[in-house]
Amino acid sequence: MKKVTKIVLATIVLPLTLSSASVLASVGKEHDKQEHKASLLDRSLIRKLDLTQEQQAQLKQLRETMKKDLKGQYQESFAEHQAERQANREKMQALVLAESFDKAAANELARAMIEQQTEHKVNMLEKQHQMLSVLTPEQKAKYAELLKERDDTRAKKRQERLTKN
C-alpha cells in the first residue's frame, strides 16, 4: 500500500478503535444500571396498575432477591469480567493496528462479544418475566398498553428532535 493510503487508513481506524474501546469500557457500568432498572421494571407504569397489597409485597420481595443475586454475581465475577473486557480491547487493538485486516478474526471477536451480550439479555428478560408473572392478565394488558403509549410518545419526541436539526 502507498504511504498516503496507510496514513488515511490509520487516521480513520485509530479514532474508531479508541472510541470503540471507550464505549466498551463504559458499557459495563451502564449495563449494570440498565439491568438494575430493567429488573425493577418501570415503576411509574407499575404504579398505574392498582396492585393489591399482596402483589406489591411479591414484587418487593422479587426486587430484593434479584438485587442480592446481582450483587453477589457482580462481586464473584468482577475480576473475570474485567479481564475479559481487557482481552477484548487488546484483540480489537491488534486487529485494527495490524498490517492487514483479518476479517475472520474480527467476525469471531464480534460473535464472542455478542454471545456475552445475548446471555446477559436473556437473564434480564427472565427476571422481567418473573416480575410480570405477579400481575393478573388484565394488569398485563394494561401494562402493555401503557408501555406502548410511552414508547409512542418517546418515538414522537425523537422524531421531532431529528426533524429540528
String of b and e for 37-75 (b: at least 16 CB within 10 Å)?
Answer: eebbbeeebbeebebeeebeebbeebbeebeeebeeeee
What string of pLDDT tens digits covers the 165 residues of the chain? 666 666 655 666 556 666 655 555 555 555 455 444 444 577 778 888 888 899 889 988 988 888 888 777 777 777 787 888 888 889 888 888 888 888 888 898 889 889 888 988 898 888 889 888 999 999 989 988 998 999 999 999 999 999 886
Q: Percentage of the chain with pLDDT > 70?
A: 75
Say whether domain 46-148 belongs to CATH 3.90.1150.10. no
pTM for this entry: 0.56
Instruction: Domain ranges for the chain, please list them.
Output: 46-148
